[in-house]
Amino acid sequence: MTNKDKLKISEEAKNFLESEHLLFIDGEWKQSSSGEKIPVFDPATEEKIAEVQSGTTKDIDLAVNAAREALSGEWANIPSHDRAQILHRLSDEIEANFSVLSELEVLDNGMPLELAQYSIASHGVTLLRYYASWAPKIHGKTIPVSPGGAMNGESLTYTKREPIGVVGAIIPWNSPLIFAILKLAPALAAGCTVVLKPAELTPLTALYFGHLIEKSGIPKGVVNIVTGLGETAGDALAKHNDVDKITFTGSTEVGKKIVSSSINNLKKVTLELGGKSPVIVFDDADLEKTIPGVARACFFLQGQNCMAGTRVFVHEDIHDELVAGVKSMAESFQIGHGLIQTNDFGPLISGDQRKRVMKYIKQGISEGATLVCGGNEVNDRGYFIEPTIFTDVTGEMSIAKEEIFGPVLCIEKFSNESLEEIAKRANKTTYGLSGSVWTNDISTGHKMAALIDSGQVSINCHAAVDSAIPFGGNKQSGWGREFGEEGLDSYLKTKATTVMY
């Protein structure tokens, strides 16, 4: 009996896993030009659950050409109101296929089922409907100017907002379906066409999503999906001279390669990259709320989360109580397969990722940090690591400076330093993505939030995400913003027209 049978996977999910997975190019499902396949594994069992096509430079070229043709075809002539209705239909398809999408997301990524369901319902569907509502609101302005000395009334200048063009979207493995939707929703609302390259570790929900795109009425060629390796398909997409914009979510290291690859035709680039987010807890914080907030900030998605609050700075007066509370929560997590609903802590994505995290845990111990709990691999099968907490951490330790992307929490004390001194410690990192402040003094909260050099800061919560809240990083955490009106803006370009009469 296979693990798929033991886990009581639905017939629809089983049938999809056992089907042939092809590339979606110009409205058709096609074999890759290489004929090669990439195995897909369930990270909770290490069992191969599917194979997908290994797309090549030639396949990317076909997809980009299809997107270019579609940009000036039927899609360009669809009124914005009708474009909005298409996106609403796509969100309806997600709702109708909610259960199977949730199962596939768990099998592909390893996240707990409850988290997959929450993400799809609260972010996937909502994002599509949010950007659908923006489509009819994209408009330009008239500008009262007199260029070239024209007298008032002798000229008219107006602007139009136009789609930026063909978009290459490269998405990560840590929350694959939501990132696919996050890239597609604003791009389609703006009238762009897209070539989507899923992470090779987690391609399944993107491919299932392709079948829903077919049903929604989006014209052929508007969305193309090419599975493949980052160093082949991803690199070819980033370098392609007929791609107008790349939107990428992933590591800072790969983000720098994306920038380098995009230089040839100076394509626009949006990057949402790594993080090492500070969590600052003052002595007046409500620990009943702060302790679970701090635990979730780090251990959400097993720490495989760019927003993860992995660096805690806590006032010495409440240090021990906070540590004890977070330790108790960490040790209460039920570790195991995400499809078993009593489990709330899943595996890391791969064996390589587990090795990376274990290397950092060993470095933390060797550098003199105190291991409070965790630090071990668990279960005979699957890439599981216990939630891990270190105290007595200093800012010079590798576990405090480098993004681990795993369930490792580093705790430092502060005493009576000024807010500026605390901020200096919190900002001593190459990253600047997220952060949070925990205090009952709202004045302190606002002042501290202003001093943290991050694209997003929350007070008495962490990583507040909503379709309407712009999100992105400072420093080496990225370029540009996603979500909200700013997320739509990056898929548009402005044309100014002046008429003299």
| pLDDT tens digits for range 261-305 | 999 999 999 999 999 999 999 999 999 999 999 999 999 999 999
DSSP state of 336: S
Q: Which of 317, 279, 274 is nearest to 411 (CA)?
A: 279
State residue 428's pLDDT score.
96
pLDDT at residue 472 tops 70: yes
State residue 364's pLDDT score.
98
Cα gap 196→21, rounded to integer Å? 15
State residue 4's pLDDT score.
47
Cα gap 254→105, rounded to integer Å? 24
Quote the percentage of the chain above a pLDDT of 90. 94
- Beta strand ranges found along 222-302 (DSSP E): 223-225, 245-249, 268-272, 278-281
Q: What is the mean pLDDT of the chain?
A: 96
**Which residues are marked as active site?**
272, 306
Check: CB of residue 346 under 8 Å from CB of residue 121: no
* Contacts for 193 with CB less than 8 Å, ≥ 6 apart: 67, 68, 70, 71, 75, 165, 166, 167, 187, 221, 222, 223, 224
Read off the pLDDT of residues 231-250 as tens digits, 9 standing for 90 and up: 999 999 999 999 999 999 99
Cα gap 186→487, rounded to integer Å? 7
Q: In the structure, what pLDDT confidence band is assigned to residue 176 with cuts at 50, 70 and 90?
A: very high
Cα gap 328→373, rounded to integer Å? 9
Cα gap 247→186, rounded to integer Å? 11
pLDDT at residue 144 tops 90: no
- Beta strand ranges found along 185-267 (DSSP E): 193-197, 223-225, 245-249
pLDDT at residue 3 tops 70: no
**Fold type of domain 278-466:** Aldehyde Dehydrogenase; Chain A, domain 2 (3.40.309)
SS3 292: helix
Quote the percentage of the chain above a pLDDT of 70. 98
Cα gap 212→174, rounded to integer Å? 22
Residues of the chain with CATH 3.40.309.10: 278-466
Check: CB of residue 424 under 8 Å from CB of residue 455: no
State residue 450's pLDDT score.
98
Does domain 23-273+478-497 fall into CATH 3.40.605.10?
Answer: yes
State residue 5's pLDDT score.
45
Q: In the structure, what pLDDT confidence band is assigned to residue 2 with cuts at 50, 70 and 90?
A: very low
Q: Which residue type sits at 487? A: G
Q: In the structure, what pLDDT confidence band is assigned to residue 438 with cuts at 50, 70 and 90?
A: very high
pLDDT at residue 1 tops 70: no
Q: Report the 3 state secondary structure along 400-446.
A: HHCCCCCCEEEEEEECCCCHHHHHHHHCCCCEECCCEEECCCHHHHH
Residues of the chain with CATH 3.40.605.10: 23-273+478-497
Q: Report the 3 state secondary structure along 80-133.
A: HHHHHHHHHHHHHHHHHCHHHHHHHHHHHHCCCHHHHHHHHHHHHHHHHHHHHH
